[in-house]
Chain A
Amino acid sequence: MTEEIQKNHAALRAKLEKQTREAGVPLPESALQKIADLTRTMKLSDEDVKGIVTEVTTRLRKVLVDPHESVGIIAAQSIGEPGTQMTLRTFHYAGVAEMNVTLGLPRLIEIVDARRAPSTPTMTVYAAKELREDRKKVQDIALKIELTALPNVASIGSMVEKMKVVVNPNRHLMESRGINRDILYQAIVEQLGDKKGFTVSSGSGTGEERTIDVTLKEDAEEETPYRRLLEAADELRAVKIGGLPGITRALIRKEDSGEYVIYTEGSNLAEVLKIPGVDRQRTTTNSVFEIYSVLGIEAARTAIIEEANRTLSEQGLNVDIRHIMLVSDVMTNEGVIQAIGRHGISGRKSSVLARAAFEITAAHLLRAAITGEVDELKGVAENIIVGQPITIGTGAVKTIYAPPKGKAKGE
């Protein structure tokens, strides 16, 4: 049954494709799909479909960009002008709950410069379908994500007169992070025990709040025992109990849709995606480089578009997404993320004259002369320098004589 529908669908699609191709403007896949869906659900006649295709084709033709249009400059201006409005609100912090997220112009610059890590990395972690409306289960995921260090759940004090460092676990803090004293004890033993030359033992108190004492090994012959003790305190502060490296905070917020979403400070996409119960399709980070290394260049392209678009629209600026897509395409089309500007695209143009026109003119020309570089004069800057029409718009059109048709000689 469904197979048959699919077959019919495919046939319809093929027919539509042929029709649109004949009309001269091939419609995008998504439009074809929509028309095919409509045809089936609304039971349209062949004539209706033909009418729709004609209408859609004419409209598409109207919005298509002409060949030789200087889309790059238009994109640059379309992003640049709203950018000037952003400067007034530089370093604007806002965001989810009490978290700080860089927004506005600094963020836009960060994206376009292809910085390896954003100044405020954050993640939005979604839970799998069955869990997302259960606060407790989402909380569990958040606990696995948030980095818990020893100072988060216990106080550390050094008692120099007794030559020991005392860890006082706090029951409430431990509970709120879903751990207990045993886990704490284990972590300290593992990360600070024999390996580093300390002895870990249980001290005074009872139950969950029983202290953990760290002393120097008895047989250790230390020249500077006091300093070693202070080192022990420092080491204790760095003991990691749970969570993922890089993520310092994880907050849960209930969205309007009723689901709980985790927002984090710090980002570690690779590890978060490994956690069971995380929705791998929707979970994301604002670190474009992380997306690139985990999910690849196409995902990075989408990430740049989304981040730039969000940064702009968050400030109430509407830039057509196609301008941003062009920027993203230019940044990613070589398979790695390249920055716009001196260290990125502009710095490695193939034309010497274009590079010389951009920056450090003499150095570029000198090097080109020494290495015998050839300039094909294909770009805009080169042609302006040598005084030729530029290869854009009218200047790019080449004409040829077209003999009149259907007219006999000497008519």
Chain B
Amino acid sequence: MVKKGGTAAGGEYFTRFEKARILGARALQISLGAPILVDAPPEVLDPLVIAEMEFDALVIPITVIHRKLGTIIAA
């Protein structure tokens, strides 16, 4: 199951593990006070929910490293 997700890097396909990892990393940043990159309604307080909104809007500046044939390629 490959879900089409999004980060600032563009609309690639992410596995559910990759999505979870990115959401987690971003939610941590937000919880520590990072500027939010999406217009979230003020009643939304959960950093994870905000991260999800950012993910859907393809604006999270995080991507994953794929190891292919011994070289490291940023997906």
- Chain A interface residues (CB < 8 Å from chain B): 24, 61-62, 64, 66-69, 393-394, 396-405
CB distance from A282 to the nearest CB of B (A): 39
| CB-defined contacts of A68 to chain B, threshold 8 Å | 15, 17
| CB-defined contacts of A64 to chain B, threshold 8 Å | 1-2
Beta-carbon contact of A397 and B64 below 8 Å: yes
| CB-defined contacts of B24 to chain A, threshold 8 Å | 394
- Chain B interface residues (CB < 8 Å from chain A): 1-2, 7-10, 13, 15-18, 20-22, 24-25, 59-65, 74
Beta-carbon contact of A67 and B15 below 8 Å: yes
A405–B1 alpha-carbon span in the complex (Å): 27
| CB-defined contacts of A405 to chain B, threshold 8 Å | 8-10
7 sample A-B contacts, Cβ–Cβ < 8 Å, listed by A number: A62-B1, A66-B15, A394-B17, A394-B20, A398-B64, A402-B7, A402-B62
Taking CB as reference atom, which chain B residue is nearest A63? B1
Beta-carbon contact of A399 and B63 below 8 Å: yes
Beta-carbon contact of B2 and A399 below 8 Å: no
| CB-defined contacts of B17 to chain A, threshold 8 Å | 66-69, 393-394, 396-397
Q: Which of A64, A68, A402, A405 has the most CB of B within 10 A?
A: A402
CB distance from B23 to the nearest CB of A (A): 10
Beta-carbon contact of B59 and A404 below 8 Å: yes
CB distance from B57 to the nearest CB of A (A): 12
Taking CB as reference atom, which chain B residue is nearest A62? B1
Beta-carbon contact of A399 and B62 below 8 Å: yes
Q: Which of A66, A67, A68, A399 has the most CB of B within 10 A?
A: A399
Taking CB as reference atom, which chain A residue is nearest B7? A402
A327–B65 alpha-carbon span in the complex (Å): 29
| CB-defined contacts of B2 to chain A, threshold 8 Å | 61, 64, 66
A53–B2 alpha-carbon span in the complex (Å): 18
A404–B7 alpha-carbon span in the complex (Å): 8
| CB-defined contacts of B13 to chain A, threshold 8 Å | 24
